[in-house]
Structure 1
Amino acid sequence: MVTVAHRLLGISGSLRAQSTNTAVLKTLGARLGDKAHMSLFALNDIPLYNSDLEAEALPASVVALKEAISQADGLIICSPEYNYGTSGVLKNALDWASRPGFNSPLKHKPVLIMTSSPGVLGGARAQSQLRETLSATLSRVICSPQIVIPGVNQKIQNGHFADETTIEFMLAAVDNLIAEINLVA
C-alpha cells in the first residue's frame, strides 16, 4: 500500500523578500521528509478586505488563497510580531479566507501556528492574537507547546533557519498536526 504524504500549506505573515518567517517555513518544509509536503502561499497580492467585493467577483488572488487552503490537509502559519500583535497582512488574509462565515475553507482545518521576533519573547503576544482569530474561523488550532522563536534574526544563515533545537521542536509539532489531520479524516 502506497501512502501519500500529507499536503500542508505554509503561510508567512511577512511580505519581505528576506522574511525570517518565510525562511523558517522553507527550512521546515525541506526537513519534512516523507511525512508531508509543504507548499508556500505568498500573501503579496491579497487586497485589503472589503465585503463589497464579495458581492461582485472575488479578486483572483483571494480565490487562489481559498482554493489553496481548501486543497491542503493542514496549515502551518508563521507570523512576525508587530506592535504586540500579528501582522496586518496575515490578519487581512485570514479575514478573506474566513468567508463565508461558519462555512469557509478554514472551518475544521487543522492549523499549526508559529511566531517569531527579534525580541526575547519570540512573538508570544502575536501567537495569542493569532490563536484567537483562528478560533473565530472555527479552525482546529493544534494544542501543543507554543512555537515561539526569539532572536530570530540571529538564527537565519544564508537565507535558512539554522536553530537545530527549534527545528526539532517544530518537527515534533508537525507530528501533532499530522495526528490531528488523521483524526479529522
Structure 2
Amino acid sequence: MTSTRIAVLVGSLRADSLNRRLAEGLVAFAPAGVELEIVDGLGELPFYNEDLDGETPPAAAVRLRETVGAADRVLVVTPEYNGTMPAVLNNAIDWLSRPYGAGALVGTPLGVIGATPTPYGGRWAHADVVRSAGVAGATVVEDITVSQSALEVDPLTDPEVQAKLADAVRRLVAHSDAAAA
C-alpha cells in the first residue's frame, strides 16, 4: 500500500502553542497509510525577498521547498493573529510560491484547520490562507477548513472537535485530481 505524505505547516512558532499541539496529535494518530510531517524551521526563513531568491536561496527556504515539494498534500494548522494569518505562515507561502508558476505548492491539495481563543475560531486567518495558497497554485480542497474557537471547548480533548479534525485529514487524503475537475 502506498503511503500518503502530508506536510504540516504550523502557523505558530511557540513551542507549546495550541495549534502545534493539535498538529502533533494528528501526527500521533494518523490513519494507516498516512504520514504527517510537521515542517519545522518556518521561523528561520528570512522575509521573502527576490534578491535572496537567486542561484543560492537561503538553506531554510530550500528545506521548506523540498519538504513541501515531496509531499502529496499540505495541511495548514494555524491560529489567527489580528484577524489574519500569522506573518510566519504568509512568509512561508511566499517562499513556496516561487519560482512563479512552478513553486512547491502548485497543484498540491491543501487544507486548513486550527483553533484560536477568539469567538471566530480563526475563520479569517483560514480564509486568508486559502486565498494566498490558491494564488500560489495550491489546489485548495473545499470543506477541509476546521475553525474552532478555544473559548467554546478544549480542542485538544473535545471528542467532537477531534472527530472533525480527523475527518479533515481523511478528506484531504481522499481528495483526487479527478475530484477537482
TM-score scaled by length of structure 2:
0.91
Q: Aligned equivalents of 1:45 and 1:129: distance in 2? A: 22
Question: Secondary structure of 1:11's match?
Answer: strand
* One-letter amino acid of the counterpart of residue 158, structure 2: D
Matches within 5 A, 1:123-142: 123-142=122-141
Question: Secondary structure of 2:78's match?
Answer: strand
Q: Aligned equivalents of 1:57 and 1:178: distance in 2? A: 33
**Matching residue of 2:118:** 119
Moved more, 60-69 or 175-184: 175-184
**Number of matched residues?**
178
The CA deviation at 1:176 is 1.5
Q: Which runs of 5+ in 2 are unaligned?
A: none
Tell me, yes or no, if the aligned pair for 1:74 and 1:181 is still in contact at 8 Å: no
Q: Which runs of 5+ in 1 are unaligned?
A: none
Task: Among all aligned residue pairs of Structure 1 and Structure 2, give the percentage whose two residues are the same amino acid.
Answer: 28
The CA deviation at 1:164 is 1.9
Tell me, yes or no, if the aligned pair for 1:116 and 1:152 is still in contact at 8 Å: no
Q: What per-residue deviation string (whole Å, max 9, x for no partner) do you get for residues 69-124 of structure 1?
A: 01111011011101100000000011011101111110000111113210111001
* One-letter amino acid of the counterpart of residue 17, structure 1: A
CA-atom RMSD in angstroms: 1.8
Moved more, 52-61 or 66-75: 52-61
Q: What per-residue deviation string (whole Å, max 9, x for no partner) do you get for residues 35-63 of structure 1?
A: 30111112121111111011241000100
**Matching residue of 1:27:** 25
TM-score scaled by length of structure 1:
0.89
